[in-house]
């Protein structure tokens, strides 16, 4: 399983990335570890804005690619309402392949709850 995510940086810019472990990756960005993206090391992250669950790397890479091509305004519209993902990317992707997941956290990425984590084992099989 792969995740495509959008995080807001302290300067209000948006960073889009891909990972297999969202909690770990957010911690890397947050702690500005050497494994964090060069962009987030110079633009500290503020919060996770959205993420999508993808079945494989190909799907995730395609979504990440097209999201990065959107304007900031379009990305903000997708963050506001996921229906806009279809509006902006329906011609490039099969939107039904991408599930925007829910998350709950209080700026505590170690204790972040992603979707229904009890089903993680079932999803990966």
CATH number of the structural domain spanning residue 9? 3.40.1440
What phi, psi does 88 have (nearest 5°)? Answer: -90, -25
Three-state DSSP at 92 gives coil
- Specify the DSSP element, H or E, that contains 2: strand 2-9
CA distances in angstroms from 36 to 10, 91, 93, 104, listed in the order given: 15, 32, 28, 22
Please count the structural domains in the chain.
1
Q: How many CB atoms lie within 10 A of CB 7?
A: 23
Which residue range forms the structural domain that includes residue 86? 2-107
In a domain, 120, yes or no: no
Name the pTM for this structure: 0.78
In a domain, 62, yes or no: yes
Spell out the per-residue pLDDT of the chain, length 125, in tens. Answer: 999 999 999 999 999 999 999 999 999 999 888 998 899 999 999 999 999 999 999 999 999 999 999 999 999 999 988 888 888 887 888 777 676 776 544 555 555 555 443 333 333 33
């Amino acid at each position: 399983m792969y995740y495509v995510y959008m995080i807001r940086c302290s300067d209000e810019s948006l960073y889009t990335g891909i990972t297999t472990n969202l909690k770990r990756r957010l911690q890397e960005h947050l702690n500005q570890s050497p494994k964090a993206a060069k962009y987030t090391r110079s633009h500290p992250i503020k919060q996770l804005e959205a993420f999508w669950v993808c079945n494989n790397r190909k799907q995730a890479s395609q979504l990440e690619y097209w999201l990065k091509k959107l304007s900031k305004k379009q990305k903000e519209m997708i963050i506001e309402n996921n229906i806009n993902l279809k509006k902006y990317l329906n011609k490039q992707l099969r939107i039904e392949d991408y599930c925007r997941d829910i998350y709950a956290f209080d700026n505590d990425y170690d204790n972040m709850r992603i979707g229904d984590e009890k089903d993680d084992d079932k999803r990966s099989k």
